[in-house]
Protein backbone atom coordinates (compact mmCIF):
# COMPACT_ATOMS: atom_id res chain seq x y z
CA UNK A 1 0.00 0.00 0.00
CA UNK A 2 1.34 3.44 -0.93
CA UNK A 3 2.05 5.67 2.07
CA UNK A 4 0.46 9.14 2.13
CA UNK A 5 2.92 12.06 2.11
CA UNK A 6 3.56 13.68 5.47
CA UNK A 7 4.71 17.25 6.09
CA UNK A 8 7.60 16.94 8.55
CA UNK A 9 8.86 20.57 8.66
CA UNK A 10 7.89 24.04 7.49
CA UNK A 11 10.25 27.02 7.57
CA UNK A 12 9.21 30.62 6.87
CA UNK A 13 12.06 31.62 4.60
CA UNK A 14 10.76 35.08 3.61
CA UNK A 15 13.67 37.44 2.85
CA UNK A 16 16.44 35.51 4.67
CA UNK A 17 18.27 34.14 1.55
CA UNK A 18 18.29 37.63 0.01
CA UNK A 19 19.55 39.23 3.22
CA UNK A 20 22.37 36.70 3.63
CA UNK A 21 23.35 36.94 -0.03
CA UNK A 22 23.60 40.74 0.13
CA UNK A 23 25.59 40.63 3.38
CA UNK A 24 27.93 38.09 1.76
CA UNK A 25 28.36 40.41 -1.22
CA UNK A 26 29.37 43.12 1.25
CA UNK A 27 31.91 40.67 2.75
CA UNK A 28 30.70 41.49 6.24
CA UNK A 29 31.49 38.13 7.86
CA UNK A 30 35.00 37.77 6.44
CA UNK A 31 35.97 41.36 7.33
CA UNK A 32 34.65 41.01 10.88
CA UNK A 33 36.59 37.78 11.32
CA UNK A 34 39.71 39.48 9.99
CA UNK A 35 39.56 42.40 12.42
CA UNK A 36 37.96 40.69 15.41
CA UNK A 37 39.71 37.27 15.62
CA UNK A 38 38.55 34.87 18.32
CA UNK A 39 40.54 32.50 20.52
CA UNK A 40 41.21 28.91 19.50
CA UNK A 41 38.50 27.45 21.73
CA UNK A 42 35.74 29.20 19.78
CA UNK A 43 33.73 26.55 17.91
CA UNK A 44 30.86 26.53 15.46
CA UNK A 45 30.05 29.62 13.42
CA UNK A 46 32.74 32.30 13.36
CA UNK A 47 32.11 35.63 15.03
CA UNK A 48 31.48 37.20 11.63
CA UNK A 49 28.94 34.52 10.69
CA UNK A 50 27.16 34.91 14.03
CA UNK A 51 26.98 38.66 13.43
CA UNK A 52 25.60 38.11 9.92
CA UNK A 53 22.88 35.74 11.16
CA UNK A 54 21.95 38.24 13.85
CA UNK A 55 21.82 41.06 11.29
CA UNK A 56 19.53 38.94 9.13
CA UNK A 57 17.25 38.46 12.14
CA UNK A 58 17.26 42.19 12.93
CA UNK A 59 16.52 43.24 9.35
CA UNK A 60 13.84 40.59 8.93
CA UNK A 61 12.11 40.84 12.31
CA UNK A 62 12.88 44.43 13.37
CA UNK A 63 14.09 43.29 16.80
CA UNK A 64 17.60 43.43 18.29
CA UNK A 65 16.94 41.50 21.52
CA UNK A 66 19.55 38.83 22.17
CA UNK A 67 17.26 36.24 23.74
CA UNK A 68 14.98 35.92 20.68
CA UNK A 69 17.54 34.93 18.05
CA UNK A 70 18.17 31.30 19.10
CA UNK A 71 14.51 30.32 18.88
CA UNK A 72 14.18 32.07 15.53
CA UNK A 73 17.25 30.26 14.18
CA UNK A 74 15.91 26.90 15.41
CA UNK A 75 12.95 27.34 13.07
CA UNK A 76 15.22 28.18 10.11
CA UNK A 77 18.07 25.70 10.46
CA UNK A 78 17.73 24.22 6.98
CA UNK A 79 17.59 27.66 5.37
CA UNK A 80 20.54 29.00 7.33
CA UNK A 81 22.66 25.91 6.68
CA UNK A 82 22.13 26.09 2.93
CA UNK A 83 22.56 29.87 2.67
CA UNK A 84 25.69 29.96 4.82
CA UNK A 85 27.12 26.66 3.58
CA UNK A 86 27.49 25.60 7.21
CA UNK A 87 26.23 22.04 7.52
CA UNK A 88 27.03 21.88 11.22
CA UNK A 89 25.15 25.03 12.18
CA UNK A 90 23.16 24.76 15.41
CA UNK A 91 20.72 27.11 17.04
CA UNK A 92 23.14 27.30 19.98
CA UNK A 93 25.62 29.05 17.67
CA UNK A 94 23.47 32.18 17.99
CA UNK A 95 22.57 31.90 21.67
CA UNK A 96 22.32 35.08 23.70
CA UNK A 97 25.72 34.32 25.27
CA UNK A 98 27.40 34.27 21.87
CA UNK A 99 25.59 37.40 20.75
CA UNK A 100 26.78 39.10 23.90
CA UNK A 101 30.37 38.16 22.99
CA UNK A 102 29.85 39.73 19.56
CA UNK A 103 28.74 42.99 21.18
CA UNK A 104 31.62 42.90 23.66
CA UNK A 105 34.13 42.53 20.83
CA UNK A 106 32.54 45.17 18.58
CA UNK A 107 32.09 47.69 21.37
CA UNK A 108 35.26 47.04 23.32
CA UNK A 109 37.95 47.60 20.69
CA UNK A 110 37.77 51.03 19.06
CA UNK A 111 40.97 50.55 17.04
CA UNK A 112 39.71 47.27 15.56
CA UNK A 113 36.36 48.88 14.70
CA UNK A 114 38.07 51.78 12.93
CA UNK A 115 40.18 49.32 10.96
CA UNK A 116 37.07 47.30 10.09
CA UNK A 117 35.25 50.40 8.85
CA UNK A 118 38.19 51.34 6.63
CA UNK A 119 38.30 47.84 5.14
CA UNK A 120 34.51 47.62 4.80
CA UNK A 121 34.22 50.95 3.03
CA UNK A 122 37.14 50.16 0.73
CA UNK A 123 35.35 46.95 -0.27
CA UNK A 124 32.03 48.70 -0.89
CA UNK A 125 33.61 51.54 -2.88
CA UNK A 126 35.32 48.93 -5.06
CA UNK A 127 32.43 46.48 -5.46
CA UNK A 128 29.81 49.15 -6.16
CA UNK A 129 32.15 51.48 -8.07
CA UNK A 130 31.27 54.44 -5.87
CA UNK A 131 32.93 57.82 -6.31
CA UNK A 132 33.59 59.67 -3.06
CA UNK A 133 33.06 63.33 -3.93
CA UNK A 134 30.67 64.56 -1.24
CA UNK A 135 30.43 63.52 2.42
CA UNK A 136 27.92 64.63 5.03
CA UNK A 137 28.57 64.74 8.77
CA UNK A 138 25.96 65.10 11.48
CA UNK A 139 24.94 63.65 14.82
CA UNK A 140 21.81 62.35 16.51
CA UNK A 141 20.85 61.24 19.99
CA UNK A 142 19.26 58.13 21.45
CA UNK A 143 17.41 58.47 24.75
CA UNK A 144 16.94 55.84 27.43
CA UNK A 145 15.38 55.40 30.85
CA UNK A 146 18.59 54.06 32.39
CA UNK A 147 20.21 55.57 35.45
CA UNK A 148 22.96 58.12 34.84
CA UNK A 149 26.47 57.16 35.95
CA UNK A 150 29.42 59.53 36.18
CA UNK A 151 31.46 57.91 33.40
CA UNK A 152 28.65 56.27 31.40
CA UNK A 153 27.45 56.92 27.85
CA UNK A 154 24.04 58.12 28.97
CA UNK A 155 24.19 61.71 30.21
CA UNK A 156 21.86 64.67 30.20
CA UNK A 157 22.41 67.04 27.28
CA UNK A 158 20.70 68.91 24.48
CA UNK A 159 18.05 66.44 23.32
CA UNK A 160 17.30 66.26 19.59
CA UNK A 161 14.30 64.07 20.48
CA UNK A 162 12.79 66.82 22.68
CA UNK A 163 13.20 64.80 25.88
CA UNK A 164 15.65 66.79 28.02
CA UNK A 165 14.39 64.90 31.07
CA UNK A 166 15.96 61.64 29.85
CA UNK A 167 19.67 60.77 29.62
CA UNK A 168 20.99 60.12 26.15
CA UNK A 169 23.98 59.05 24.13
CA UNK A 170 25.17 60.71 20.92
CA UNK A 171 25.91 59.09 17.57
CA UNK A 172 28.16 61.06 15.24
CA UNK A 173 28.21 59.76 11.67
CA UNK A 174 29.59 60.57 8.25
CA UNK A 175 27.80 59.40 5.11
CA UNK A 176 28.58 59.25 1.41
CA UNK A 177 26.39 60.99 -1.18
CA UNK A 178 24.12 60.12 -2.89
CA UNK A 179 23.47 56.87 -1.01
CA UNK A 180 23.55 58.10 2.57
CA UNK A 181 26.01 55.20 3.06
CA UNK A 182 27.70 55.37 6.49
CA UNK A 183 31.48 55.79 6.26
CA UNK A 184 32.26 56.18 9.96
CA UNK A 185 30.30 55.92 13.19
CA UNK A 186 31.35 57.33 16.56
CA UNK A 187 29.44 56.85 19.81
CA UNK A 188 30.02 59.39 22.60
CA UNK A 189 28.28 60.40 25.81
CA UNK A 190 25.15 62.50 25.52
CA UNK A 191 26.40 65.72 27.09
CA UNK A 192 29.14 66.23 24.48
CA UNK A 193 28.86 69.28 22.22
CA UNK A 194 28.70 68.71 18.46
CA UNK A 195 31.39 71.20 17.41
CA UNK A 196 34.48 69.27 18.64
CA UNK A 197 33.27 66.02 17.03
CA UNK A 198 33.68 67.16 13.42
CA UNK A 199 37.46 67.16 13.01
CA UNK A 200 37.94 63.63 14.47
CA UNK A 201 35.17 62.34 12.19
CA UNK A 202 36.73 64.06 9.18
CA UNK A 203 40.07 62.46 9.99
CA UNK A 204 38.41 59.03 9.95
CA UNK A 205 36.86 59.72 6.55
CA UNK A 206 40.18 60.96 5.16
CA UNK A 207 41.85 57.75 6.34
CA UNK A 208 39.14 55.76 4.55
CA UNK A 209 39.09 57.68 1.25
CA UNK A 210 42.83 58.36 0.99
CA UNK A 211 42.38 61.35 -1.29
CA UNK A 212 41.62 65.07 -0.99
CA UNK A 213 39.24 67.34 -2.86
CA UNK A 214 36.15 65.99 -1.08
CA UNK A 215 33.30 68.38 -0.26
CA UNK A 216 32.16 68.01 3.36
CA UNK A 217 28.60 69.21 4.03
CA UNK A 218 27.29 69.87 7.51
CA UNK A 219 25.00 72.09 9.55
CA UNK A 220 25.92 75.32 11.32
CA UNK A 221 27.83 73.46 14.05
CA UNK A 222 30.43 72.48 11.43
CA UNK A 223 31.06 76.19 10.79
CA UNK A 224 33.50 76.56 13.69
CA UNK A 225 36.53 78.41 12.33
CA UNK A 226 38.90 75.67 13.57
CA UNK A 227 36.97 73.03 11.59
CA UNK A 228 36.99 75.14 8.44
CA UNK A 229 40.69 75.86 8.86
CA UNK A 230 41.45 72.13 9.22
CA UNK A 231 39.60 71.31 6.00
CA UNK A 232 41.30 74.12 4.12
CA UNK A 233 44.70 72.90 5.32
CA UNK A 234 43.79 69.34 4.24
CA UNK A 235 43.01 70.46 0.67
CA UNK A 236 39.36 69.50 1.16
CA UNK A 237 36.25 71.67 0.75
CA UNK A 238 33.41 72.48 3.10
CA UNK A 239 29.86 73.80 2.78
CA UNK A 240 27.84 74.83 5.82
CA UNK A 241 25.57 77.66 6.98
CA UNK A 242 26.83 80.23 9.43
CA UNK A 243 25.14 80.31 12.86
CA UNK A 244 23.70 83.53 14.24
CA UNK A 245 26.76 83.89 16.48
CA UNK A 246 29.01 84.29 13.44
CA UNK A 247 26.45 86.11 11.30
CA UNK A 248 24.30 88.25 13.65
CA UNK A 249 21.22 90.04 12.25
CA UNK A 250 23.05 93.37 11.98
CA UNK A 251 25.82 91.82 9.86
CA UNK A 252 23.25 90.08 7.67
CA UNK A 253 21.41 93.35 7.10
CA UNK A 254 24.68 94.97 6.07
CA UNK A 255 25.27 92.17 3.54
CA UNK A 256 21.76 92.61 2.15
CA UNK A 257 21.89 96.41 1.91
CA UNK A 258 23.20 96.37 -1.72
CA UNK A 259 20.28 94.09 -2.62
CA UNK A 260 17.72 96.60 -1.33
CA UNK A 261 19.38 99.44 -3.23
CA UNK A 262 19.55 97.41 -6.44
CA UNK A 263 23.34 97.42 -6.58
CA UNK A 264 23.57 93.64 -6.07
CA UNK A 265 21.95 91.38 -8.66
CA UNK A 266 20.47 88.07 -7.52
CA UNK A 267 20.99 84.69 -9.19
CA UNK A 268 17.82 82.57 -9.37
CA UNK A 269 18.07 78.94 -8.28
CA UNK A 270 15.86 76.34 -9.97
CA UNK A 271 15.19 72.74 -9.07
CA UNK A 272 15.24 70.32 -11.99
CA UNK A 273 11.82 69.02 -13.08
CA UNK A 274 10.80 65.57 -11.87
CA UNK A 275 9.24 64.58 -15.20
CA UNK A 276 9.59 65.86 -18.74
CA UNK A 277 6.17 67.50 -18.47
CA UNK A 278 7.17 69.58 -15.45
CA UNK A 279 8.88 72.95 -15.50
CA UNK A 280 11.96 73.90 -13.45
CA UNK A 281 10.83 75.14 -10.05
CA UNK A 282 12.16 78.49 -8.83
CA UNK A 283 13.18 77.79 -5.23
CA UNK A 284 15.68 80.48 -4.19
CA UNK A 285 17.66 83.60 -5.03
CA UNK A 286 21.18 84.44 -3.98
CA UNK A 287 24.57 86.03 -4.55
CA UNK A 288 28.09 85.54 -3.26
CA UNK A 289 31.16 87.47 -2.21
CA UNK A 290 34.65 86.44 -1.13
CA UNK A 291 36.56 86.96 2.08
CA UNK A 292 39.97 85.90 3.37
CA UNK A 293 40.49 84.01 6.62
CA UNK A 294 43.62 83.33 8.62
CA UNK A 295 43.84 80.45 11.10
CA UNK A 296 45.61 80.51 14.46
CA UNK A 297 48.50 78.66 12.79
CA UNK A 298 48.87 81.40 10.20
CA UNK A 299 47.16 79.58 7.31
CA UNK A 300 45.34 81.96 4.97
CA UNK A 301 42.62 80.80 2.60
CA UNK A 302 39.90 82.27 0.41
CA UNK A 303 36.26 81.64 1.27
CA UNK A 304 33.08 82.63 -0.49
CA UNK A 305 29.95 83.59 1.37
CA UNK A 306 26.81 82.48 -0.39
CA UNK A 307 23.88 84.67 0.67
CA UNK A 308 20.67 82.82 -0.21
CA UNK A 309 16.98 83.45 0.25
CA UNK A 310 14.77 80.36 0.22
CA UNK A 311 11.42 81.39 -1.28
CA UNK A 312 9.47 78.67 0.48
CA UNK A 313 11.13 79.38 3.81
CA UNK A 314 10.50 83.11 3.38
CA UNK A 315 6.81 82.48 2.64
CA UNK A 316 6.49 80.27 5.71
CA UNK A 317 8.22 82.85 7.90
CA UNK A 318 5.92 85.54 6.46
CA UNK A 319 2.84 83.52 7.43
CA UNK A 320 4.19 82.96 10.95
CA UNK A 321 4.97 86.67 11.27
CA UNK A 322 1.43 87.62 10.30
CA UNK A 323 0.01 85.09 12.77
CA UNK A 324 2.18 86.51 15.56
CA UNK A 325 1.04 90.04 14.73
CA UNK A 326 -2.62 89.03 14.73
CA UNK A 327 -2.26 87.15 18.00
CA UNK A 328 -0.48 90.09 19.63
CA UNK A 329 -3.21 92.47 18.49
CA UNK A 330 -5.90 90.16 19.88
CA UNK A 331 -4.09 89.76 23.21
CA UNK A 332 -3.70 93.53 23.57
CA UNK A 333 -7.33 94.11 22.61
CA UNK A 334 -8.39 91.78 25.43
CA UNK A 335 -6.75 94.15 27.91
CA UNK A 336 -9.53 96.66 27.08
CA UNK A 337 -12.35 94.33 28.11
CA UNK A 338 -14.36 95.44 31.12
CA UNK A 339 -16.70 93.63 33.42
CA UNK A 340 -16.67 90.70 35.77
CA UNK A 341 -13.51 88.58 35.55
CA UNK A 342 -11.45 91.29 33.85
CA UNK A 343 -8.90 93.12 35.93
CA UNK A 344 -8.87 96.90 35.66
CA UNK A 345 -5.31 98.03 34.87
CA UNK A 346 -3.81 101.37 35.65
CA UNK A 347 -1.52 103.07 33.14
CA UNK A 348 1.71 101.53 34.47
CA UNK A 349 0.20 98.06 34.55
CA UNK A 350 -1.15 98.47 31.01
CA UNK A 351 2.30 99.48 29.73
CA UNK A 352 3.88 96.45 31.42
CA UNK A 353 1.24 94.05 30.06
CA UNK A 354 1.59 95.38 26.50
CA UNK A 355 5.39 95.17 26.62
CA UNK A 356 5.17 91.55 27.80
CA UNK A 357 2.80 90.64 24.92
CA UNK A 358 5.04 92.29 22.33
CA UNK A 359 8.10 90.46 23.64
CA UNK A 360 6.25 87.15 23.77
CA UNK A 361 5.24 87.37 20.10
CA UNK A 362 8.51 89.04 19.01
CA UNK A 363 6.80 92.01 17.36
CA UNK A 364 8.08 94.87 19.54
CA UNK A 365 9.39 96.81 16.52
CA UNK A 366 6.34 96.15 14.35
CA UNK A 367 3.41 97.16 16.57
CA UNK A 368 3.01 100.62 17.99
CA UNK A 369 0.80 100.84 21.09
CA UNK A 370 -1.16 104.02 21.85
CA UNK A 371 -2.74 104.59 25.25
CA UNK A 372 -5.85 106.62 26.02
CA UNK A 373 -6.63 107.37 29.65
CA UNK A 374 -10.18 108.46 30.52
CA UNK A 375 -10.82 109.63 34.06
CA UNK A 376 -14.22 109.61 35.71
CA UNK A 377 -15.01 111.21 39.09
CA UNK A 378 -17.93 109.96 41.20
CA UNK A 379 -19.31 111.57 44.37
CA UNK A 380 -19.64 109.03 47.19
CA UNK A 381 -22.12 109.92 49.96
CA UNK A 382 -21.33 109.58 53.63
CA UNK A 383 -22.00 106.13 55.05
CA UNK A 384 -21.41 104.54 58.48
CA UNK A 385 -19.08 107.20 59.70
CA UNK A 386 -17.29 107.65 56.42
CA UNK A 387 -17.42 111.18 55.12
CA UNK A 388 -18.63 112.03 51.66
CA UNK A 389 -15.84 112.03 49.10
CA UNK A 390 -14.96 112.18 45.40
CA UNK A 391 -13.59 108.94 43.87
CA UNK A 392 -11.67 109.24 40.61
CA UNK A 393 -11.19 106.14 38.40
CA UNK A 394 -9.07 105.88 35.29
CA UNK A 395 -9.94 103.69 32.33
CA UNK A 396 -6.93 102.83 30.16
CA UNK A 397 -7.65 101.86 26.55
CA UNK A 398 -4.86 100.50 24.39
CA UNK A 399 -4.93 100.73 20.61
CA UNK A 400 -2.33 99.27 18.26
CA UNK A 401 -1.23 100.04 14.76
CA UNK A 402 1.34 98.40 12.57
CA UNK A 403 4.48 100.23 11.50
CA UNK A 404 4.42 99.79 7.69
CA UNK A 405 8.07 100.72 7.22
CA UNK A 406 9.33 98.31 9.88
CA UNK A 407 6.97 95.61 8.58
CA UNK A 408 8.27 95.96 5.02
CA UNK A 409 11.90 95.85 6.18
CA UNK A 410 11.21 92.74 8.24
CA UNK A 411 9.40 90.94 5.42
CA UNK A 412 12.13 91.53 2.86
CA UNK A 413 14.70 90.14 5.30
CA UNK A 414 12.88 86.81 5.75
CA UNK A 415 14.24 83.52 4.43
CA UNK A 416 17.88 84.66 4.09
CA UNK A 417 20.80 82.53 5.19
CA UNK A 418 24.54 82.74 4.68
CA UNK A 419 26.53 79.67 3.63
CA UNK A 420 30.31 79.50 3.50
CA UNK A 421 32.57 77.34 1.32
CA UNK A 422 36.22 77.33 0.36
CA UNK A 423 35.29 75.83 -3.00
CA UNK A 424 35.50 79.02 -5.04
CA UNK A 425 34.02 77.29 -8.09
CA UNK A 426 30.84 76.30 -6.23
CA UNK A 427 27.92 78.27 -7.63
CA UNK A 428 24.95 79.49 -5.64
CA UNK A 429 22.59 76.99 -7.21
CA UNK A 430 24.92 74.05 -6.63
CA UNK A 431 25.39 75.04 -2.99
CA UNK A 432 21.64 75.35 -2.35
CA UNK A 433 20.82 72.00 -3.97
CA UNK A 434 23.72 70.27 -2.19
CA UNK A 435 22.67 71.51 1.22
CA UNK A 436 19.02 70.65 0.60
CA UNK A 437 20.00 66.99 0.31
CA UNK A 438 20.83 66.99 4.03
CA UNK A 439 17.85 64.66 4.39
CA UNK A 440 20.13 61.86 3.18
CA UNK A 441 21.94 61.63 6.50
CA UNK A 442 18.82 62.45 8.52
CA UNK A 443 17.03 59.56 6.84
CA UNK A 444 19.70 57.21 8.16
CA UNK A 445 19.17 58.56 11.67
CA UNK A 446 15.43 57.99 11.29
CA UNK A 447 16.13 54.43 10.21
CA UNK A 448 18.01 53.84 13.46
CA UNK A 449 14.74 54.60 15.21
CA UNK A 450 12.61 52.86 12.58
CA UNK A 451 11.01 49.44 12.52
CA UNK A 452 13.85 47.44 10.98
CA UNK A 453 16.89 48.66 12.91
CA UNK A 454 14.94 49.70 16.01
CA UNK A 455 17.77 51.06 18.15
CA UNK A 456 15.35 52.29 20.80
CA UNK A 457 14.17 51.10 23.20
CA UNK A 458 17.51 49.71 24.35
CA UNK A 459 17.44 46.45 26.29
CA UNK A 460 21.13 46.53 27.27
CA UNK A 461 22.79 47.86 30.40
CA UNK A 462 26.46 47.52 29.51
CA UNK A 463 28.10 50.58 27.96
CA UNK A 464 30.35 48.33 25.86
CA UNK A 465 27.44 46.30 24.54
CA UNK A 466 25.38 49.39 23.72
CA UNK A 467 28.29 50.73 21.69
CA UNK A 468 28.67 47.32 20.02
CA UNK A 469 24.96 47.22 19.14
CA UNK A 470 25.09 50.67 17.53
CA UNK A 471 28.08 49.56 15.46
CA UNK A 472 26.24 46.40 14.42
CA UNK A 473 23.22 48.47 13.38
CA UNK A 474 25.54 50.76 11.40
CA UNK A 475 26.38 47.70 9.28
CA UNK A 476 22.65 47.11 8.90
CA UNK A 477 22.22 50.72 7.76
CA UNK A 478 24.86 50.12 5.09
CA UNK A 479 22.79 47.15 3.91
CA UNK A 480 19.63 49.26 3.63
CA UNK A 481 21.42 52.01 1.71
CA UNK A 482 23.14 49.67 -0.74
CA UNK A 483 20.03 47.64 -1.60
CA UNK A 484 18.08 50.82 -2.23
CA UNK A 485 20.86 52.38 -4.30
CA UNK A 486 21.41 49.25 -6.42
CA UNK A 487 17.73 48.80 -7.29
CA UNK A 488 17.17 52.48 -8.06
CA UNK A 489 20.24 52.64 -10.29
CA UNK A 490 19.11 49.53 -12.18
CA UNK A 491 15.60 50.92 -12.65
CA UNK A 492 16.97 54.24 -13.86
CA UNK A 493 19.27 52.54 -16.36
CA UNK A 494 16.27 50.68 -17.81
CA UNK A 495 13.87 53.65 -17.48
CA UNK A 496 11.49 51.37 -15.58
CA UNK A 497 9.47 51.40 -12.37
CA UNK A 498 8.65 48.79 -9.75
CA UNK A 499 5.05 47.99 -8.86
CA UNK A 500 3.21 45.73 -6.39
CA UNK A 501 4.91 47.47 -3.46
CA UNK A 502 2.04 49.53 -2.03
CA UNK A 503 -0.59 47.71 0.02
CA UNK A 504 -4.04 48.09 -1.49
CA UNK A 505 -2.73 49.64 -4.69
CA UNK A 506 -0.69 47.03 -6.60
CA UNK A 507 -0.72 49.02 -9.85
CA UNK A 508 1.05 51.98 -8.28
CA UNK A 509 4.68 51.99 -9.43
CA UNK A 510 7.77 53.88 -8.35
CA UNK A 511 11.29 54.34 -9.67
CA UNK A 512 12.60 55.00 -6.15
CA UNK A 513 11.50 52.09 -3.96
CA UNK A 514 12.80 51.87 -0.40
CA UNK A 515 14.53 48.78 0.96
CA UNK A 516 11.83 48.39 3.59
CA UNK A 517 9.12 48.27 0.92
CA UNK A 518 10.99 45.68 -1.14
CA UNK A 519 11.74 43.37 1.78
CA UNK A 520 8.05 43.29 2.73
CA UNK A 521 7.20 41.73 -0.64
CA UNK A 522 9.07 38.54 0.36
CA UNK A 523 6.72 37.76 3.26
CA UNK A 524 5.08 34.34 2.93
CA UNK A 525 7.82 32.37 1.16
CA UNK A 526 8.13 28.97 2.83
CA UNK A 527 10.26 25.84 2.68
CA UNK A 528 8.28 22.63 3.19
CA UNK A 529 9.80 19.19 3.89
CA UNK A 530 7.58 16.27 2.86
CA UNK A 531 8.24 12.65 3.78
CA UNK A 532 7.14 10.16 1.13
CA UNK A 533 8.14 6.52 0.65
CA UNK A 534 11.05 6.77 3.04
CA UNK A 535 12.42 9.82 1.23
CA UNK A 536 12.41 13.46 2.33
CA UNK A 537 11.51 15.98 -0.33
CA UNK A 538 11.94 19.75 -0.03
CA UNK A 539 9.78 22.18 -1.93
CA UNK A 540 9.80 25.97 -2.02
CA UNK A 541 7.06 28.51 -2.51
CA UNK A 542 7.80 29.83 -6.03
CA UNK A 543 8.81 33.47 -6.32
CA UNK A 544 6.23 35.74 -7.84
CA UNK A 545 6.99 38.27 -10.56
CA UNK A 546 7.91 41.21 -8.31
CA UNK A 547 10.09 39.02 -6.04
CA UNK A 548 11.97 37.63 -9.03
CA UNK A 549 12.41 41.12 -10.40
CA UNK A 550 13.87 42.49 -7.15
CA UNK A 551 16.28 39.57 -6.92
CA UNK A 552 17.41 40.24 -10.48
CA UNK A 553 17.74 44.01 -9.96
CA UNK A 554 20.11 43.30 -7.08
CA UNK A 555 22.28 41.19 -9.37
CA UNK A 556 21.33 37.81 -7.92
CA UNK A 557 19.72 34.72 -9.42
CA UNK A 558 16.57 32.89 -8.35
CA UNK A 559 18.89 30.02 -7.44
CA UNK A 560 19.12 31.80 -4.06
CA UNK A 561 15.69 30.34 -3.33
CA UNK A 562 15.51 27.41 -5.72
CA UNK A 563 18.47 25.63 -4.14
CA UNK A 564 16.48 25.32 -0.92
CA UNK A 565 13.89 23.19 -2.71
CA UNK A 566 16.21 20.39 -3.94
CA UNK A 567 15.62 16.78 -2.96
CA UNK A 568 17.29 15.60 0.22
CA UNK A 569 17.44 12.00 1.31
CA UNK A 570 18.54 12.89 4.79
CA UNK A 571 16.20 15.67 5.90
CA UNK A 572 18.49 18.61 5.68
CA UNK A 573 21.83 17.28 6.79
CA UNK A 574 20.51 14.94 9.52
CA UNK A 575 19.09 17.70 11.63
CA UNK A 576 19.12 16.78 15.29
CA UNK A 577 17.11 19.81 16.40
CA UNK A 578 13.46 20.67 15.84
Tell me what pLDDT residue 567 has: 46
- Give the model confidence (pLDDT) of 498-533 as tens digits: 999 998 898 999 999 999 999 999 999 999 888 877
In a domain, 106, yes or no: yes
In a domain, 47, yes or no: yes
**Any alpha helices (H) in 383-499, and if so which ranges?**
404-412, 428-435, 439-448, 463-494
DSSP-derived secondary structure for 321-385:
HHHHHHHHHHHHHHTT--STT-PPP-HHHHHHHHHHHHHHTT-TTTEEEEEEEEEEEEEEPPBTT
Tell me what pLDDT residue 308 has: 95
The pTM of this model reads: 0.88
DSSP state of 279: -
**Does residue 569 or residue 410 have the better pLDDT?**
410
In a domain, 57, yes or no: yes
Domain count, the chain: 1
Tell me what pLDDT residue 2 has: 56
Q: Across the strands, what pairs with 184?
A: 174
In a domain, 341, yes or no: no
Check whether 61 has a pLDDT greater than 70: yes
In a domain, 381, yes or no: no
Check whether 570 has a pLDDT greater than 70: no
Average pLDDT of the residues in 360-376 = 88
Average pLDDT of the residues in 228-249 = 94
Greatest mean pLDDT among 82-91, 305-314, 380-389 lies in 305-314
Tell me what pLDDT residue 516 has: 94
In Å, the largest CA–CA distance within the chain is 125
In a domain, 390, yes or no: no
Tell me what pLDDT residue 335 has: 87
**Any alpha helices (H) in 128-217, and if so which ranges?**
198-209
In a domain, 68, yes or no: yes
Pick from 99-103, 222-226, 467-471, 537-541: least confident: 537-541
Average pLDDT of the residues in 329-358 = 86
Confidence tier at 248 by pLDDT (50, 70, 90): very high
Check whether 7 has a pLDDT greater than 90: no
What SS3 class is residue 550?
Answer: helix
Owning domain of residue 479: 1-131+454-578
In a domain, 60, yes or no: yes
* CA distances to 131, 138, 223, 436 from 240, in Å: 21, 11, 6, 11
Average pLDDT of the residues in 129-148 = 89
Amino acid sequence: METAPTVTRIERVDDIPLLLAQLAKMEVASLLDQHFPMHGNWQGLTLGEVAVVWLAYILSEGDHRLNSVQGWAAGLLMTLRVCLGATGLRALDVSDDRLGVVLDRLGGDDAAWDAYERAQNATLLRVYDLKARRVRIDSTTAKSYVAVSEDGLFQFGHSKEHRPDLPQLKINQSTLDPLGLPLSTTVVSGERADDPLYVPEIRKVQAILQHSGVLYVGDCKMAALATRAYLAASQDQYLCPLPAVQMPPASLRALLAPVWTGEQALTPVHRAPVTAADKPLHIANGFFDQVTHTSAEGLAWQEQRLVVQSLKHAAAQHQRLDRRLEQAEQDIARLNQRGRGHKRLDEAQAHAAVDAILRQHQVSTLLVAEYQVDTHTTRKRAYLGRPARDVTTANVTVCTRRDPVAYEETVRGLGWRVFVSNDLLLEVGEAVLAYREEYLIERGFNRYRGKLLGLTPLYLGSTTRIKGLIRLLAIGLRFLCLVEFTVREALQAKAEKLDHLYAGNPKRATARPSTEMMLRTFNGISLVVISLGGMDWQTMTPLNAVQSRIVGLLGFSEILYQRLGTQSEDAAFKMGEP
